[in-house]
Amino acid sequence: MKSVLRVVLTAAIAASTFTHVAFAQDATQQATPAPEPAASDAGAPPALSNITPQISNLNPFPPADPKNFTASFPTEDTVKAFLRQLWGYDPNRIFQVAAIAKTAAPTLSQVVVFVAERGQPADQTKTTGFLVLNDGKHGIAGDNVIDFGATPFAEKRATLLARADGPAHGGTSKDLELVEFADLQCPHCKEAQATMDQLAQDFPTAHIVFQNFPLTQIHPAAFQAAAYGLCVSQLKPDAGNAAFLTYIHAVFDTQDALTPDNATQTLNNAVIKAGVDVTKVAACAATQAIKDNLNASIQLAKDVQVDSTPTMLINGRSVPLAGLAYDTLKSIINFQAQLDGVTLPAAAADASAAPAAK
């Protein structure tokens, strides 16, 4: 379920198609913001409208034109490293940086990229673009601010390592940490639990965290459900947070009953299934400490730019779970582990993807 905030980087993670855009060779003129690299509705900066790929059957990309590289930042190597981090899980996707151009704003540069899929007809090469700020850490794609750089996920990873404290299971090492931001009253989160269960089997060494993000504006029972879950975890801290996992599955299974009249009883039933005393859980959930914990979790979601539930961050890399094919998700996890130098069991690593080629 989408939150009231904007969705950030959804298309850049999940989309595999690109809208063709033409760009102008006069790269010194003003450019307007373009969508993020993998957005299927990519827009065109009118000032770059004639940089059109001249495609042959042997080479899908034209030679780079030095006239289109007028900006002092970012470097071409940094752009390539960024795009490999973003797209490298898909070995069939190839790209070429076509322009890094000045704009009328001295703090912004325009990046233009040609994109293709291996084996596709040559005339299907696409073009997309985005703006980069001179701080070297941020870009603008459409109306979204995105993380940029050779290691764009590192800052969020550090934030999560320090602050993601939800109930966890799986491996104890955080070398590969999967942080799921979810709302117990969110229908898409309910659908995603089969995916999360499968990930726990396929990546047994991953540290999997359930981080509460109750969207109270649209889900009035979500905060209470999250509070009860935290208390179940605290009152019965068994191996692998088994009681907590039993509780959230029971809540998801009876999610339709989280109505104003039946929410408390529905949650009590889930607590009973988890084997915890209902009275103790209710008392725990009413404490200021639990409320503070949940408010801190909500703030964490905002700080790492989580805009929808369910969203998972893989070592800081944000991936929307709703509608994402499991094989693609598994490839992204394997690739991110590879980027971060994490050795996975052979069963998990069998779907790892090679970095995207230029």
Q: Confirm whether 2 is domain-assigned.
A: no
Asked if residue 230 lies in contact with residue 294, where contact means CB atoms within 8 angstroms, the answer is: yes
Q: For residue 212, which of 197, 224, 226, 228 has the smallest C-alpha distance? A: 226
Q: Count of domains in the chain? A: 2
> What mean pLDDT value characterizes the chain?
85
Q: Is the pLDDT of residue 10 over 50?
A: no
Q: Is residue 40 scored above 50 in pLDDT? A: no
Q: Of 122, 147, 172, which marks where a domain is finished?
A: 147
Q: Please report whether residue 277 resides in a domain.
A: yes
Q: Which domain-ending residue is among 147, 175, 204? A: 147
Residue with tokens 């947070």: 241
Q: What pLDDT is recorded for position 349?
A: 58
Is 80 exceeded by the pLDDT of residue 332?
yes
Same-domain status, 110 and 131: yes
Domain boundaries, position 328 = 156-348
- pLDDT surpassing 90 at residue 160: yes
Residue 30 maps to a domain = yes
Q: Please indicate, yes or no, whether residues 278 and 169 belong to a single structural domain of this protein.
A: yes
In a domain, 176, yes or no: yes
**Is residue 268 a part of any domain in this protein?**
yes
Domain identity same for 26 and 161: no
Q: How many of the other CB atoms lie within 10 Å of CB of 253?
A: 15
Strand order in the sheet with 126-133: 93-102, 108-117, 126-133, 138-141, 144-147
Tell whether 248 and 335 lie within a shared domain. Answer: yes
Beta-bridge partner residues of 102? 109
Cα maximum dimension of the chain: 72
Residues 162 and 296 both lie in one domain: yes
Clarify whether residues 134 and 188 are in a common domain: no
5 part of a folded domain:
no
Taking only the tens place, the pLDDT of each residue in 286-297 is 999 999 999 999
Please say whether the beta carbons of 222 and 181 come within 8 A. no
Band (pLDDT 50/70/90 cuts) for residue 264 is: very high
Q: How far is CA 151 from the centre of its chain?
A: 15
Residue 311 has pLDDT above 60, yes or no: yes
pTM of the model as a whole: 0.82
239: number of Cβ within 10 Å = 7
DSSP state of 60: S
Q: Are residues 112 and 230 in the same domain?
A: no
> Which is nearest to 164 in space by CA: 312, 291, 307, 338?
312
Domain boundary among 129, 147, 165: 147
CA distance 103 to 71: 8
First to last CA, the chain: 36
Together in a domain, 221 and 277: yes
Helix axes 222-235, 263-273, angle to 10 degrees: 20
Same domain, 167 and 142: no
- What's the sign of the alpha-carbon dihedral 253, 11, 168, 171? positive
Alpha helices in 5-150 (DSSP H): 10-14, 76-87
| Residue 125 CB partners (closer than 8 Å, separation 6+) | 20, 53, 55, 60, 61, 114, 115, 116
Does residue 357 fall inside a structural domain? no
304 shares its domain with 163? yes
Q: CATH number of the domain that 280 lies in? A: 3.40.30.10
- Residues 167, 47: one domain? no
Give a three-class secondary structure readout of 303-344.
HCCCCECCEEEECCEEEECCCCCHHHHHHHHHHHHHHCCCCC
Secondary structure class of 114 (helix, strand, coil): strand
How far, in Å, CA of 298 to CA of 181, rounded?
9
Is the pLDDT score of 37 beyond 70?
A: no
Residue of 84, 103, 104, 85 whose CA lies nearest to 94: 84
22/136 same-domain check: yes
Rounded to 10°, the helix 242-253/222-235 angle is: 150
Q: Is 163 a domain residue?
A: yes
- pLDDT tens readout for residues 184-220: 999 999 999 999 999 999 999 999 999 999 999 999 9
- Let me know the angle formed at the C-alpha of 357 by 176 and 203, rounded to the nearest 5 degrees: 20
